[in-house]
Amino acid sequence: MSRYSIFSLIRNGLSYNQNWQRAWKSPEPKREYDVVVVGGGGHGLATAYYLAKEHGVKNIAVIEKGWLGGGNTARNTTIVRSNYLWDESARLYETAMGLWEGLSQDLNYNVMFSQRGVMNLAHTLQEVRDTQRRVNANRLNGVDAEFLTRDQIKEIVPIINLDCHYPVMGASFQRRGGVARHDAVAWGFARGADKYGVDIIQNCGVTGIRRENGAVTGVDTVKGFIKAKKVAVVTAGNSSVLAAMAGIRLPLESHPLQALVSESIKPVLDTVVMSNAIHAYISQSDKGDLVIGAGIDQYTGYGQRGSFQLIEGTLKAIVEMFPIFSRVRMNRQWGGVVDVSPDACPIISKTDVKGLYFNCGWGTGGFKATPGSGWVFAHTVANDNPHPINAPFSLDRFYTGHLIDEHGAAAVAH
């Protein structure tokens, strides 16, 4: 596969862009693989990429029921940060942040990672205390974090109204945080995995997981049975459905989470602003649209759409905080299905079925972890043992009680 570079751009330009190679092949599934990764979102594709690249696993397939990134990967609001409270999470998300910082070069694919900063507002004295505690914890873990006063917030975001009906009292700020282009992340990992010989198979839903004598033997798909020594499931909101196919129950609830974008406007907001208290967050994309999101709908379900009252509340909060946006028109709204765990932390784990692994429970905030999640999960699958970074995120924490409560840092704040 040829590298993308200024030279390939010129060469292909000279032949009227008729000779670009496909970014990945679309083969028919083989009868047997060493590892089948179920789910062609960012996490599944990253898992396959690192399995092949870092662990030399040769015979891998990614099986996706729809199209690459058509799940939450391309439905999210692309916020990337690593300023989580607890040591375990800080290590996990900071590993991801390190990988993000070199990802475009590593994949030879521009994922448009833009470190424009992520600001989390505090509106009450208690929120100020919690925010300062998190900033201190972040610093102890080597994660960049600052506490901003009202004046400092205003300097970074001059258009903000700090005196909305929950007045803003301060904020945390992670300058290395930011946004990335979500489809590009899926496509870049797909192209990278393809380069290492991974078969990427779209439009191929998994309908069953077969097991024999306590070990996985393969997956039933709409294209027939595929034998596999190991099956790694990375299906986000559908994880419980896949678990049921293998006779397992996961401590997850699937909820709709929605987002919306406005028409394009001139650049006015060059950082990400989030608020737990008023349940809304906003950034401006490189195209100029305002990208807006909120909290989950409270009911469970698999519909990729959300309820109207949530959007109404979110926009009310955004307009109060940014009166300048009051006449901007909204362009599109959509939903995804997020897999929420009881401690707002992911599950990256072996299971009681030999050769069957799950990576799920990322809830409202897994995009930021995509490269790190794939990296540690690949280690887990390749070695049949978790990496020290994801060991605390194993399923057994729900038996032992060693939960990692990240509700404060995860909540609406993606």
Ligand X SMILES: Cc1cc2nc3c(=O)[nH]c(=O)nc-3n(C[C@H](O)[C@H](O)[C@H](O)COP(=O)(O)OP(=O)(O)OC[C@H]3O[C@@H](n4cnc5c(N)ncnc54)[C@H](O)[C@@H]3O)c2cc1C
Chain positions contacting ligand X, by CB under 6 A: 38-44, 63-66, 70-73, 75-79, 205-206, 234-236, 238, 242, 257-259, 293, 336, 338, 362, 364-368, 414
Tokens 């690949």 correspond to 378
CB of 236 to ligand X, least distance (A): 3
Residue closer to ligand X (CB basis): 9 or 244: 244
**In contact, 132 and 288? CB cutoff 8 Å:** no
CB of 283 to ligand X, least distance (A): 9
**In contact, 411 and 344? CB cutoff 8 Å:** yes
Residue closer to ligand X (CB basis): 148 or 260: 260
CB of 226 to ligand X, least distance (A): 11
CB of 356 to ligand X, least distance (A): 14
Residue closer to ligand X (CB basis): 135 or 347: 347
- Amino acid in position 374: G
**Which residue from 413, 404, 406, 305 is spatially nearest to 368, judged by alpha carbons?**
413
What is the rounded CA–CA span in Å between residue 195 and residue 373?
Answer: 20
Residue closer to ligand X (CB basis): 364 or 380: 364
**In contact, 41 and 33? CB cutoff 8 Å:** no
CB of 316 to ligand X, least distance (A): 18
CB of 3 to ligand X, least distance (A): 26
Residue closer to ligand X (CB basis): 141 or 238: 238
Residue closer to ligand X (CB basis): 99 or 234: 234
